[in-house]
């Protein structure tokens, strides 16, 4: 099978590339604009997979280059992961998100339709739901994003659903909860430049000794210990969910939440590093971060039933692989 993976050198994309390359019959082409990924990741994927694949530095906004890629590529399936993903940045610079996420995706869909490529699996997010009264989110919750990042993902979902209804494509949409953890080798993980916004990349900086302590945003949430609770999904489980989609997408278009169904608080995460890695994370409490909610997690039943997938790993595997990656990338 001839597969195109967009955003394939990023945190999720690089792990997915390794998963895809395990199948001997797969011919993989990776594109990435390198805006939030390093070119050296290409060599890490090569080293770990011991397989050949094609790589092109490509910005999806470049329609002509994209058309050329599709003319020679003859793809059977697209995994579309490329996009900008900082909630904070999307509120400050929404235009960047309209362009990178929405226009980039429109160009990709245009190239697919022009070249009669039918199948696309799209990387969406639970952020599309926005705030709901219930904590356990299912796929039929209404989508009411509260930030531009979430809005752009919702718009792309709508385009996919519309094209699917017009029989132009087959699509599976995956709404991720909080991806976490790193590759077992310790050679791939999430390591953004500068001060990270998200919890695990921040903890990686602490393990590396670049930051002294964690700022916990809020200690008066309605959770067991007052700190915010999320559904952290191990990157390898996330990859497995994508691999399950390959067969299904040709038969049925659908939408799946991808999470574990178990919420953990910030203090649970801190304790997991002590318990499984014997590493103490120092912290101080700060005021709440704007837009944060108390707790939310996935209602796992649909993916289990219809995709035949559920998460196998937990906080132990997440903390150990994160620790291993942080130490190795010191």
Q: CB of residue 225 vs ligand UD1: minimum separation in angstroms?
A: 11
CA 156 to chain centre: 15
Q: If binding is defined by CB under 6 A, does position 202 make contact with ligand UD1?
A: yes
Sign of CA pseudo-dihedral 134, 139, 141, 144 = positive
215 is a contact residue toward ligand UD1 (CB under 6 A): yes
Q: Which stretch binds ligand UD1 (CB under 6 A): 136-144, 255-263, 286-294, 298-306?
A: 286-294
Q: Which stretch binds ligand UD1 (CB under 6 A): 47-55, 236-244, 270-278, 288-296?
A: 288-296
Binding to ligand UD1 (CB under 6 A): which residues in 45-104?
87
Q: Which residues are registered as beta bridge partners of 322?
A: none
Residue 179, H or E segment = strand 178-180
Of 230, 234, 242, 313, which lies in the binding site for ligand UD1, with binding defined by CB under 6 A?
230
Collapsed DSSP state (helix, strand, coil) of residue 225: coil
Distance, in Å, from the CA atom of 330 to the CA atom of 325, rounded to the nearest integer, reads 9
Among 292, 301, 304, 328, interactor with ligand UD1 by CB under 6 A? 292
What is residue 295's DSSP assignment? B
Q: Alpha-carbon distance 11 to 103, whole Å?
A: 22
Check residue 178 for interaction with ligand UD1 (CB under 6 A): yes
Q: 225: which 2 tokens?
A: 């210990």
Q: Which of 243, 225, 237 is nearest to 300 (CA)?
A: 237
- Looking at the Cβ atoms of 63 and 289, the one nearer to ligand UD1 is 289
Helix (H) or strand (E) holding 162: helix 148-165
Q: Binding to ligand UD1 by residue 198, rule CB under 6 A?
A: yes
Residues 132-171: x where in contact with ligand UD1 by CB under 6 A, - otherwise, as a string: -----------------x----------------------
3-state secondary structure of 221: coil
- Using CB under 6 A, which of 181, 228, 259, 263 touches ligand UD1? 228
Beta strands in the chain (DSSP E): 2-6, 27-32, 54-57, 77-80, 119-125, 136-137, 170-176, 178-180, 214-217, 229-230, 232-234, 254-258, 264-265, 283-286, 297-298
- 56 or 262, CB closer to ligand UD1? 262
What gap in Å lies between CA 127 and CA 144, rounded to an integer? 9
Residues 297-316 touching ligand UD1, rule: CB under 6 A, are none
216 binds ligand UD1 (CB under 6 A): yes
Size of the site for ligand UD1 (CB under 6 A): 20
Q: Which is nearer to ligand UD1, 29 or 123 (CB)?
A: 123
Q: Which of 291, 304, 305, 308 binds ligand UD1 (CB under 6 A)?
A: 291
Q: How far is the CB of 149 from ligand UD1 (least distance, A)?
A: 6
User: What's the rounded Cα separation, in Å, for the pair 229 and 293?
Assistant: 8
Tell me the catalytic residues: 149
Residues that bind ligand UD1 (CB under 6 A): 87, 125, 127, 149, 178-179, 197-199, 202, 214-217, 228, 230, 266, 289, 291-292
């Amino acid at each position: 099978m001839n597969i195109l993976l967009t955003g394939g050198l990023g945190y999720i994309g690089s792990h997915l590339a390794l998963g895809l390359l395990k199948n001997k019959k797969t011919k993989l082409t990776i594109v990435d604009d390198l805006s939030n990924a390093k070119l050296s990741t290409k060599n890490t994927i090569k080293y770990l997979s011991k397989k050949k694949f094609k790589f092109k530095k490509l910005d999806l906004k470049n329609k002509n280059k994209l058309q050329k890629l599709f003319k020679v590529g003859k793809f059977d399936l697209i995994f579309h992961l490329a996009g900008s993903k900082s909630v904070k940045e999307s509120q400050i610079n929404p235009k960047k998100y309209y362009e990178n996420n929405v226009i980039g995706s429109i160009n990709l869909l245009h190239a697919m339709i022009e070249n009669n490529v039918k199948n696309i699996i799209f990387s969406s997010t639970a952020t599309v739901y926005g705030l709901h009264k219930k904590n356990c989110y299912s796929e039929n919750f209404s989508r009411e994003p509260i930030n531009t990042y979430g809005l752009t993902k919702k718009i792309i979902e709508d385009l996919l659903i519309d094209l699917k209804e017009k029989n132009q494509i087959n699509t599976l949409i995956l709404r991720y909860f909080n991806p976490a953890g790193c590759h077992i080798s310790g050679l791939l993980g999430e390591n953004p430049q500068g001060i990270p916004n998200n919890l695990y990349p921040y903890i990686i900086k602490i393990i590396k000794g670049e930051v002294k302590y964690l700022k916990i945003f809020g200690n008066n949430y309605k959770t067991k210990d007052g700190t915010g609770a999320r559904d952290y999904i191990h990157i390898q489980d996330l990859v497995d969910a994508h691999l399950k989609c390959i067969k299904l997408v040709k038969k049925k278009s659908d939408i799946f939440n991808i999470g574990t169904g178990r919420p953990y608080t910030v203090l649970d995460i801190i304790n997991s590093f002590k318990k499984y890695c014997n590493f103490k994370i120092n912290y101080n409490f700060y005021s709440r971060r704007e837009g944060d909610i108390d707790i939310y997690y996935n209602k796992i039943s649909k993916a289990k039933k219809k995709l035949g997938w559920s998460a196998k790993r937990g906080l132990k595997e997440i903390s150990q692989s994160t620790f291993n990656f942080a130490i190795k990338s010191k």
